[in-house]
Each structure stands twice: as structure tokens, then as C-alpha cells.
Amino acid sequence: MTIPEILETLDYGVAPETSKPALDWIAAHDGKFQLFINNEWRDPSSKEWFDSINPATAKKLGDIAQASDADVQDAVKAARKAFRSWCQLSGHARARYLYAIARQLQKHSRLFAVLETLDNGKPIRETRDIDIPLVARHFYHHAGWAQIMSTELRGYEPLGVVGQIIPWNFPLLMLAWKIAPALAMGNTVVLKPAEFTSLTALLFAEICEKILPPGVVNIITGDGRTGAALVNADVDKIAFTGSTDVGRIIRKATAGTAKKLSLELGGKSPFIVFDDADLDSAVEGVVDAIWFNQGQVCCAGSRLLVQEGVAEKMYRKLKARMEKLRVGDPLDKSVDIGAIVAPVQLQRIESLVQQGIAEGAHMWQPSWSCPMEGYYYPPTLFTNVAPASTIAQVEIFGPVLAAMTFRTPEEAVKLANNIRFGLAASIWSEDINLALDIATQVKAGTIWINSTNLFDAASGFGGYRESGFGREGGKEGLFEYVKKSNVESQKSEVSKVKKTKAKLKDTRPLTFDLRPAIDRTAKLFINGKQARPDSGYSIEVKDANGTVIGEVGQGSRKDIRNAVEAARGAVDKWSKSTGHGKAQILYYLGENLAARADEFAKRISQQTGADAESAMGEVEASIESLFTAAAWADKYDGAVHNTPIRNVTLAVPEAIGVMGILLPDDHSLLALCRLAASALAMGNALVIVPSPIAPLTATDFYQVLETSDVPAGTFNIVTGDRDELAKTLAEHDDVDVVWYAGSADGQKSVQTASANNMKQTWVMPVSGDLPEMDEILRHATQVKNIWVPYGG
């Protein structure tokens, strides 16, 4: 048998994921789940419970509490009480809490994924590889927004208590979409998960119980009665994701009140395929658009619009692909389509499919049959669909695709917009001019070109028309959880260090007996390794009283050359890594620095004579700076310029490249963390020259670098004479930018020497206040303008 024959005849093997850990967790609760209010678990006052069912087997998983009006009021009161202290925390303190939640989600990711699949019916591949990683991503991302709220949302303050109601199609992801930004902006939350899928929200509540102060997050389960009670309760905002019909009810219920409202509602998204599209790729796009999560996605590409000339070819390819789709046990990692969430939803799908047939559309389904146990429905394709027919206009919320044809781009736009919804759209064409032209005309909040169902915490999501209003994700999503502040000025995060420290109950003792029995030799740090200076010389380091407390290597021209070579080798890969990836490493640096806070505080005090409180304050501010740099790693966005021709001109900030940074004398640790970490966050690779006054801080810091997954070559440290090394860096043709803090003569020398390759320079005073973050980020990047013309 030939290899092509083997590939043709091979079938998928069964790859089951064990459900035991999730079932054990359910059993540990005796299969009965209470309400989570004020960090306490309590029975519902109604004494009413309802079943949670596994859609794949139709078997009961557990009993869920039905919250009453009284329970809802108790949850709101707890959140109101918690708000008074939560909103007073610094952004950095809230960032730490969100970061801790993200870490716990990652540590228990498999349990969350399996439990979500059991409760919802979606394939384990989707919960494991898409949903849960995105959940953690949202908490990491919004930890960053909490960190920089005081500068990036200056003049805004939190709303107060937020009531949130989420759907059953993405139970944990929708929770993250709503809770993460609400907490980041200083609000407290009462959240009601969907009746069908409450279990992962309750597992999440256990994380909140361990991490958050009482009342900050409250989880109340129940049916529509609980949701109605929350809408009518004394909350400052309602955030709802669900059907348009329920959204209308909420809009009416909140009309005339002071409650802020955001609604993410239904959709009937067009999937537009032009005749020049890569049809094989488009077919895979359709699979993701309509059969992902069994089509139970508000932005599912449920209307296939194909240009007439390639329609039949597209349908043939699509049917062949549908024949290969696997429907079955969602815990089987080979399965493509899982179970429908509940019998009522399955009945709705079946009813609308029959209506489509009755209205004259042609239905096609694969030859195989679905499992008999559980709630399943096969992938379904309708052709010959009239634009005004029910299945082309009504959200089915199932694995059903309605296909229509068009002849011209103008007709495609009219068909796409011939709907009351406006949530999302996908456009497939090899002609980017055409794709962008159509994208500007389709009425939808999110447009994907040659892709579909792409989501990220950094990108806002929400709809036009009857798909609702407001946005979730991105900076625009933050404005849903804030209001204009009456306070005209806000203190900087650094000025809040002592307050933050008190709030976090940091009572670590400080002692200053720094007489090591063994002399620790401070080395250079080049290409991820400690290195002895090429010169073979060391420089004494003295304390504030003139006593020698250690020695550091005297870096030479060759050491700079080695460091620059290491940085050049690392910068390309580092600059192309994702902002999220860079943020993870910077957060890790902050985490590891916090673990050694006492040691660094002692070192600062030893070198400078600072008292214990001031030294620890600098360490705390340095940790905060690392968090701030991490926050900016995926948020320093570009812009679309309004240039006066038919095009999109994208202004994209990019890393400059290899950067030499010569640090000032004051704030040895804070300067290192603020300047270097911010430059690193933007994708640059660094050669750092510490202050000659307090270089031991930097040589201690490379031990933090070694334990924090910082890629070799991205962060190099060379100690020595500042002005001598500055001149070497400024003259080096493979250095792209030099930041210099030093004397006036030194500044002049650096700027003069930089003319060799016209490298950028930024000079700063040798002492005094450090630059603000916006200025640092601007100097750490350069803008590339990309012009993208369009027009059919």
C-alpha cells in the first residue's frame, strides 16, 4: 500500500480525555453547589435547586442553587461594602490581584477545560486550546490596564457595583470578558452565570475565595428570575451577553435609571467569498465560522455568501469537508463537533431547519449519523436560500449554514447588510484592495479578512444595530466600567508605594547585617551568562561612608562588543515575539524580584545609606515599574491616520533595535527597572551600564534575570566607567540608540559620537526624577507608516 493510499484510508483514533479530576471535584462538593456571596458559601434562601446536565450524555452532574431576590440583594450589599475599600487600592495593587487570578487559572487549566466540556458539551480541544488560555489572557491583559489606569484613564473613576449576566456558549470566557475589566477599573461584581452552565463559574469562585477580599466578586446562580432580580437591584451597571430579545427587556427595565448598560446580543454574520479567494482556505474558514462550538456562537458565520462563478465548486469542497467532520463525545480529542447545550436548544435548531425546508431551501447533511445518547445535531448546509427567508434572517445558534450567491461586490454588500444584526463578518479574497473596500461598507463591529472567529483581550468586540452596543476587550472596553471623575488630579503610582504596601500588608522585617562570610564576585552579564571582564580588572564599590563593600568588573571595549553582538543576535526574535509573551516575562521578573525584596532593600541601603523604609519603598516601586512595563507590552498601539485619499495609513510603533542604556546615579534599582524594562517591553535588546555609584544592585539583578526566562542576549549588563563605555556604545555602528544619564560633557560626547551611524540618542540628568512612562515608551520605539490603498 502506498503512502497516499494509507493517508486516504486511515481514520482518526479515539483520544479520550479523562473526566475523573472534574468528577472528583463535583463529588467533593457532594454534587451540590451553593451561592458565593461575600467570600462565603451559602444555601439559597429559596431552598430551591436545579439540575446541571452533561449534554453529551444527558446525565446529571450536580444540583445548582436557585438564588432568590433576597440572595441577590445580599450579594449586591456585599459588593457595595467591598467597593469602598477596593476602589481605594492603587492600580498596582489591583494588578497584583488580577495577576494572581491569572496564575491560578493557568495552574488549574486542565480542570477548568474538562469541567467546561462536561457542563457545556463543546469539544475538549476548544476548551483546552482556545477558551481557557483566552481566559487567563484576559486577566493578564487587564492586570496591565489596572496598573496604568491612573495615567491612561486620567480623570475617570470606577462606577461602583456591576451586575453581570453571561450566556452558556462560552461560560468561563464570558466571565473573564466581564469580570477582568470590571475589577481592573476598581469596580466590584455580582455575576450570574447561565442556568445551563454554572460549574466553571463556581470553580472560579473558589479561586476568588482564596485571593480576593470578601465581596469583591460574588457569584449567584439561577434562572431568568435571578437575572431579572439583578437587573432591578441597586447596581450601577448591567453588562449582559445573550439574546436580542432579552436585551430588549433589560433596556426597557433600565430606561430612565442611572444604570450604565452594555449589551452584546445576537448575530447572523455574513461569510463572504469572492471568486478570487483561496477556496480550500475558505472552506476551513467556514468550518471555524459555523461548526466551532456547534455553531453556538453569537458571531458565527451562519450566512455563506459566495460569488456566483465559484459557488458550485465551493459547495462541492464544503460537502466533502463536512463528510469528514466528526461528531461525538466532546472529551474525545479527535472530535470536531460536540453536543448541543440542552434539549430546548436542540428543539429550536430542529424547528428552524424544518422551516427552512418548508420555505424551499435545499438541505444537505453528511451521510453519517450522530450519537444517539445526548443532544447532538449534524453539520447542515442549506443552498438555494432566499435572502428574506427565516433561516437567512433568524439566529439559529446551531451548526446550520445558509448559503446564497451574489454577482458583484455591490450585491455582496447589500446581502451582507440585509439583516437586523451587525456583530461580525468575514471577507475572503486575494485582492486586499477589494477586501478592505468591502470591510468599510459592511455594517458590523468586527471584520475578519481571510480569517474568522479571532478574539483577543486587546481587541474590542461588540456590535451594531440589534447586536447591541458597548464593547468588551481593548481600551474601548474599559470605558464601559468607568465614569468621569470629580477629582481633578490623581497621584502617580510611585507616590502610592507606601499606601500600596500597607494595603498588601507587607510586614517583611529588614535587617542590615551585610557581612557575607564568603566574598561573592560580581561579574558582567552577557548573552544570558555571567562573564568575567575581559580587562581582568575590578573596581571597588564603597558605601555612603566610604567603606569598601564589594567590587565589580571593569568592562572594556571588547566586553561592549560581546554584549552588542549578543543583543544583535537576540533582537530580531525578541522584537517579533508577541506583546503578551513579553509581558509574561516582565511579570515573572516582578514576581522574582518580589521574592528577594529584602535582599535588594538591604543592598540599596548599604550602597546609598537610605533608611529601611525608603529602601523597601524603592523595591516596591521597582516591582511596580516591572508590572507597568508588562502592562504596556501589549498596549502601546499605533493609529490609523486620516490621510486624504482612499487608503488606510497604519502608524505602527516598532522596536528600534539594539539599545545602550547608561543609568543615572539616583534610584539604582528603580532606574534599572523603569528604563530597561520599558525598553525591553517594546521589543528592544539592551546593553545596560549601571551607575558607578551603586552598581551592585545591577549585578544582583542579573540573578533575577537568570530565573525569569529572559531570552539570552536581550538583557546584557556591563559594569565600568560610565563615560568610557558610553563613548564606545555611541561609536559602535551596530548600536541603534543610546540613552545616556550623566554629565553635560558626557551628553555632548555621546551625541557627537552617535553621528557615525546617525543613531538616536536620548540624554538625561545624572540625578533627580526619572522620566515619565509616556516619554520612555516614545523614545523606545519608532513609527513605521504603512499605506494600504483600497477601492473596488
Residue 611: CB atoms within 10 Å: 12
Please report which helix (H) or strand (E) contains residue 789, including its range.
Answer: strand 781-789
Question: What is the C-alpha to C-alpha distance for residues 216 and 78, in angstroms, rounded to an integer?
Answer: 8
Q: Which among 116, 157, 195, 264 is annotated as catalytic? A: 264
Q: Which among 298, 299, 370, 673 is annotated as catalytic? A: 298
Distance of CA 504 to the CA centre of its chain: 25
Residue 522: CB atoms within 10 Å: 22
Helices (H) and strands (E) in the chain, counts: 30, 34
Q: Using alpha carbons only, give the angle 197, 182, 260 rounded to the nearest 5 degrees.
A: 95
Question: What is the C-alpha to C-alpha distance for residues 98 and 587, in angstroms, rounded to an integer?
Answer: 12
SS3 state of residue 54: strand
CB-CB contact of 43 with 29 (8 Å): no
The residue type at 113:
A
CB-CB contact of 162 with 480 (8 Å): no
Question: Helices 91-107 & 199-211, crossing angle to 10 degrees?
Answer: 130
Determine whether 536 is exposed, middle or buried from the number of CB atoms within 10 Å of its CB (0-12, 13-18, 19+).
Answer: exposed
Task: Give phi and psi for 90, each to the nearest 5.
Answer: -65, 160
Please report which helix (H) or strand (E) contains residue 765, including its range.
Answer: none
Question: What is the C-alpha to C-alpha distance for residues 238 and 139, in angstroms, rounded to an integer?
Answer: 20
Question: What is the C-alpha to C-alpha distance for residues 484 and 474, in angstroms, rounded to an integer?
Answer: 19
Question: What is the C-alpha to C-alpha distance for residues 203 and 119, in angstroms, rounded to an integer?
Answer: 12
Question: What is the C-alpha to C-alpha distance for residues 493 and 501, in angstroms, rounded to an integer?
Answer: 12
Residue 264 annotated as catalytic: yes
Question: What is the C-alpha to C-alpha distance for residues 523 and 394, in angstroms, rounded to an integer?
Answer: 69
SS3 state of residue 397: coil
SS3 state of residue 531: strand
Distances (CA, A) of 542 to 525, 539, 668: 21, 10, 14
The terminus-to-terminus CA distance of the chain in angstroms comes to 50
| Strand segments (E) across 109-193 | 156-158, 161-165, 188-192
| Cell of residue 167, nine digits | 450566556
Distance of CA 638 to the CA centre of its chain: 18
Question: What is the C-alpha to C-alpha distance for residues 175 and 622, in angstroms, rounded to an integer?
Answer: 32
Residue 245 gets the label, from left (phi > 0), alpha (psi -120 to 50) or beta, of alpha
Please report which helix (H) or strand (E) contains residue 91, including its range.
Answer: helix 91-107
Residue 312: CB atoms within 10 Å: 12
- Ranges of H-type helices in 325-418: 343-358, 390-393, 409-417
SS3 state of residue 61: strand
Distance of CA 530 to the CA centre of its chain: 34
Which residue, 432, 388, 592, 612, is CA-closest to 510? Answer: 612
Residue 654 annotated as catalytic: no
Distance of CA 569 to the CA centre of its chain: 29
| Cell of residue 213, nine digits | 477580599
Tell me the torsion sign for CA atoms 381, 386, 388, 389: negative
CB-CB contact of 274 with 436 (8 Å): no
DSSP string, 713-746: TSEEE--S-HHHHHHHHHH-TT--EEEEES-HHH
The residue type at 364:
W
- Which sequence positions are flagged as catalytic? 264, 298
